[in-house]
Chains A and B, each alone.
Chain A
Amino acid sequence: MITVSNISKSYGPVQALRDVSFRVQPGEIFGVIGPDGAGKTSLFRILATLLLPGSGSATIQDLDVVRDYKRLRSMLGYMPGRFSLYQDLTVEENLQFFASVFGTSIQENYALIKEIYVQIEPFKKRRAGALSGGMKQKLALCCALIHKPEVLILDEPGTGVDPVSRKEFWDMLKRLKNWGITILVSTPYMDEAGLCDRVALLQNGAIMAIDTPKGIVQGYSRPLYAVRSGDMYRLIRDLRALDIAAGCYAFGEYAHLSLHTDSWNEPDIRLYLLSKGHEYVEVHPIEAGVEDCFIELMKP
């Protein structure tokens, strides 16, 4: 469905993408996970036929993103970061505008967007500029779907939107799969990786790993523990001081401690912390999450 072959892109001295290659299967939700500056937006602009690659090539449905851009554009739905809505047009007017640009009407493909649109329909006469982040997100998605595209390209659809709306958005994406739409989505939120069929972890323009979320996690080889005590700050410092510690990072309530070898386990860690004067010590082994893997892959 989508084939990306050795795409590189530089802006002057800055290399935004380095030799990126991957494939997306039809009907997949494929996530590109990475922080700001990883190259996600550059990659998506190239695939959306808005930016020329420096080198390499990409095809969507066997159409080349450079040569066949005109034909591709009517098949793609693109939702860029910051949503690209007309702030001074109403909800309804925005939708009508995008429909007309693609030579269709709201009625024609209403079934596709209905579930999403009904949530903002009460506000259809409100100007887009006056909507909250979550509402803008829903409207932008409707505008990207209005012409029934085969491929949806969503660039950080959740950034700047509160966690509740973000979660609802991903529920909507899952339902879109039932329409056979292939979805390419980028996000800096590691927990969203688990909602994709497959993910590519992107950092500094290069892909660090591609797999199903489960596969990525299974690739994590070190013993990993969740540790808690009364003083997070001291806890992390004391754990990092251990020779056997490969890494120790805060993860909300717990610190995640990865070890070089399995020569220590829970009781050893607990004893060490008690000897350092920690109180309310809790230690238990855990399975790595995508964020643990990302951090591990990032280290030189």
Chain B
Amino acid sequence: MESVIVTDRLTKTFGAFTAVDEITFEVRPGEIFGFLGANGAGKTTALKMLTGLIRPSRGKASVAGYDVLRNPEQVKRRIGYMSQKFSLYEDLTVRENIRFYGGIYGLKRADIQAKTAVLLEKLQITPYADQLVAGLPLGWRQKLAFSVALLHEPRIVFLDEPTSGVDPLTRRQFWDLIYEAAHEGVTLMVTTHYMDEAEYCDRVSIMVDGKIEALDTPQRMKQSFGADNMDEVFRKLARKEA
């Protein structure tokens, strides 16, 4: 089966500054792919290109079979996205949020209703369906946001630091959801600053100064860097920047 993400010397420059420097990699279907790098390494810019939010300066990328430069709207339809900052509308209820995002993704009314029931049951929040999201604990909101990102059954979901600041129990419950989604064939690209989460990924890439400096399974990466854990690998690779 063809790769869900394929990039070929993908590059983004802002004036004289090269934020993403000719990155080339592939992500396979059903993979949990960890996209790591220090702040300022170019992760967010790379992610924005892959999700069709900004145009590459040079090079190519295709996501879910569509070229990000020529068909960004097609890309957007086939992906899910979730981050700390871009989440749910706090002043809408749980149900209203699901209906809203279902509508944006072009789902039919009947579909949305059916999926809402399933989603609420799965997360065990049916009693809170008509409560404002603002009133839910952060951990619940994270799980709900993730489920909403999957509503239109995208082939790949991008998760931008999805568990930042969340309590350790909820963090793990969240990863249970990620594993489940992967088991059902969804491809997941996750950025995180929690190095233990890097271990949950099938493969991991580490960006430094706009380039991908390492890409492998956590196991093999640790072996080649002579490290006990991913934290050590990261520290050996990542450098300080201004």
Chain B residues near A162: list those with CB within 8 A. 37-39, 193, 238
Answer whether residue B70 sits at the interface, using C-beta atoms and an 8 A cutoff.
no
Q: How many angstroms from the CA of A76 to the CA of B238 in the assembled complex? A: 34
The answer to whether A233 touches B183, judged by C-beta atoms less than 8 angstroms apart, is: yes
The answer to whether B39 touches A133, judged by C-beta atoms less than 8 angstroms apart, is: yes
Answer whether residue A149 sits at the interface, using C-beta atoms and an 8 A cutoff.
no
Answer whether residue B92 sits at the interface, using C-beta atoms and an 8 A cutoff.
no
Chain A residues near B241: list those with CB within 8 A. 132, 134-135
The answer to whether A251 touches B196, judged by C-beta atoms less than 8 angstroms apart, is: yes
The answer to whether A35 touches B39, judged by C-beta atoms less than 8 angstroms apart, is: no
Chain A residue at minimal CB-CB distance from B173: A249
Chain B residues near A133: list those with CB within 8 A. 39-40
Q: Mark B25-65, 1 if CB is under 8 A from A, else 0.
A: 00000000000011110000000000000000000000000
The answer to whether A132 touches B166, judged by C-beta atoms less than 8 angstroms apart, is: no
Which bracket fits the contact residues of B? 35 or more
**Residues 123-179 of B contacting A (Cβ, < 8 Å):** 137-139, 164-170, 172, 175-176, 179
Interface size in chain A (residues, C-beta < 8 A): 40
**Residues 159-211 of B contacting A (Cβ, < 8 Å):** 164-170, 172, 175-176, 179-180, 183, 193, 195-200
The answer to whether A123 touches B166, judged by C-beta atoms less than 8 angstroms apart, is: no
Known: A132-B242, A133-B40, A134-B39. Is A291-B200 also a contact (CB below 8 A)? no
Chain B residue at minimal CB-CB distance from A36: B165
Answer whether residue B72 sits at the interface, using C-beta atoms and an 8 A cutoff.
no
Of the listed stretches A96-104, A110-118, A163-171, chain B binds A163-171
The answer to whether B168 touches A122, judged by C-beta atoms less than 8 angstroms apart, is: no
Shortest Cβ-Cβ A-B pairs, 6 listed: A35-B167, A252-B196, A162-B38, A252-B199, A132-B40, A36-B165
> Can you list 8 A-B pairs with a CB-CB distance of less than 8 A?
A132-B39, A161-B39, A162-B37, A162-B193, A162-B238, A164-B238, A233-B179, A252-B199
Which residues does A use to contact B, with CB under 8 Å?
A: 34-38, 119-120, 122-123, 126, 131-135, 159-165, 167-168, 188, 190, 203, 232-233, 236, 249-253, 291, 294-295, 298-299
